[in-house]
Amino acid sequence: MTKTAWVFPGQGSQEPGMGIDLSELPLAQDRFRLAEEILGWSVLEACQEDSDKLNRTLYTQPCLYVVESILADLLLEKGNTPYLVAGHSLGEYVALYAARVFDFETGLGLVKHRAELMDGASEGIMVALMKFDRQQLEKLIEQTPDVVIANDNSPAQVVISGKPEAVQEVSTQIKAKRAVPLKVSGAFHSPLIAEVAAQFQEVLDAVAFADAQFPVLSNVEPLPTVEAAILKNRLQRQMTGSVRWREISMQLPVEGIEQVVEIGPGKVLTGLIKRMCPDLILQNIGSAKDFSA
């Protein structure tokens, strides 16, 4: 049997109209209804509205969680199971749900609180860098206070996060092909949101985690585990810690993975993995029509 990893994208992969074609399926109808009870607003309506609303953290994160978890459940319902799972930032919550570390309602409750807190984090900025000198970047980061590598996505793509003046200083000094400011409310995955992370910690502490049914590669520690206590500790560190997606990707062939299925809108993660692990079979499940394919 082919060893398959399921990976779940995070904020930035959202697309207007995502999840709409799922709305005719009974399983999805139940989830959308339950999500509206928990959130107090409709995921389907948010996904159909203008991109400005969908791109706001408050709506983006719950919408991605709901749509991706429905897609994962449809795969499981059809008898598909992964060898291991991983998710990029917000996607890690879907990975934990798919591995049955917590139920749908618990996961959405966590994501709701996370989105509300992060939406209100107004300090700091984030900038994506493409095709840069890594040695130079690491030296600049080391020399510049209040800026960190927030997302280490691939050898050729990272996101830096921190105080505006620090991020701008690094962005102007680094030799990079492109530097793109991200439309986010704060310096996510950096020490600047430590206060927000502390508030979220109180919410997370109250939630019981179960051992995972499939190993999970976590953002802050890209090594597989099924142990509930370890997974919870890693998630506690995720909000201020770096997303180590480059290392997660490189770990996949080490674990014997032969195929990767990206579950969610877009093809961001499979695009990154393709460049780092060209021998892996890649597939995308982003809508109902992808199941027939």
pLDDT tens digits, 101-118: 999 999 999 999 999 999
Q: pLDDT above 90 covers what percent of the chain?
A: 92
CATH number, position 163: 3.30.70.250
Three-state secondary-structure class, residue 151: strand
The domain tally of the chain equals 2
Residues 111 and 222 in one domain: yes
171 is known as an active-site residue: no
Q: Are 261 and 132 in a shared domain?
A: no
Whether the CB-CB separation of 225 and 215 falls below 8 Å is answered with yes
Band (pLDDT 50/70/90 cuts) for residue 285 is very high
In terms of domains, do 161 and 247 share one? no
What's the confidence (pLDDT) of residue 122?
A: 76
Residue 48's φ and ψ, nearest 5 degrees, are: -95, -15
**Is the same domain home to 93 and 207?**
yes
Are 203 and 81 within one domain? Answer: yes
**pLDDT for res 293:** 62
pLDDT band at 124 (very low <50, low <70, confident <90, very high): very high
Same domain for 111 and 135: no
CA 93, CA 118: separation in Å to the nearest integer?
15
Q: SS3 of 241, please?
A: coil
228 shares a domain with 106: yes
CB atoms within 10 A of CB 204: 17
**What integer best gives the mean pLDDT of the chain?**
95
- Asked whether residue 216 carries a pLDDT value surpassing 80, the answer given is yes
| pLDDT of 49 strictly over 80 | no
pLDDT of residue 274: 97
Q: For residue 161, indicate whether it is catalytic.
A: no
Question: Tokens 């107004």 appear where?
Answer: 122
- The count of other CB atoms within 10 Å of the CB of residue 52 is 10
Cα 57 from Cα 27, distance rounded (Å) = 26
- Phi, psi of 56, deg, nearest 5: -80, 130
pLDDT at position 257 is: 98
Q: Please tell me which residue in 69, 89, 218, 242 is annotated as part of the active site.
A: 89
Work out the pLDDT band at 121, boundaries 50, 70, 90: confident
Separation in Å, CA 70 to CA 179, 222, 293: 34, 25, 18
Domain that holds residue 150: 125-181
Residues 220 and 85 in one domain: yes
Same domain, 173 and 208: no
**Residue 33: its pLDDT value, please?**
97
CB 76 within 8 A of CB 104: no
The answer on 32 and 174 residing in a single domain is no
Out of 13, 161, 189, 242, pick the active-site residue.
189
Same domain, 115 and 17: yes
CATH number at residue 90: 3.40.366.10
Contact 122, 104 (CB under 8 A): no
pLDDT digits (tens, 9 = 90+) for 262-283: 999 999 999 999 999 999 999 9
Same domain for 195 and 130: no
